[in-house]
Amino acid sequence: ADDDLAAVFGVKAGTRLIERRYRTRRRSENGPFSLISSYLVHDVVSTNPDLLDAANEPWPGGTQNQLYTVGIELGSVEEQVTARPPTVEEA
């Protein structure tokens, strides 16, 4: 985890995270509709080896269900949405 992600997760910088990137698109457009990055703390979810395998994505029930499989039930979810112009490859 870099300093920013470490602060969000309440862990030390350098803590191992699992990052999943998702790209959604509309059928009528060539470029992506959204680019999503999702993170899990490796040591928290490593008790379920299925969560470590990117081939199992997308996970039914999403991140909330992934955490449930290791005994974590969420009381709330906080999302951060940002925007930027597309890169040449994305446009």
Domain around 54 = 3-68
In a domain, 58, yes or no: yes
What pLDDT digit, counting tens, does each position of 13-40 carry? 999 999 988 877 777 777 667 778 889 9
The pTM (predicted TM-score) of the whole model is 0.74
Widest pairwise Cα distance in the chain: 43
Q: For the chain, how many structural domains are there in total?
A: 1
In a domain, 59, yes or no: yes
In a domain, 51, yes or no: yes
In a domain, 85, yes or no: no
Q: Check: CB of residue 46 under 8 Å from CB of residue 18.
A: no
In a domain, 83, yes or no: no
In a domain, 54, yes or no: yes
Taking CA atoms, 12 is separated from 2, 47, 59, 74, 90, in Å, by 9, 20, 27, 22, 33
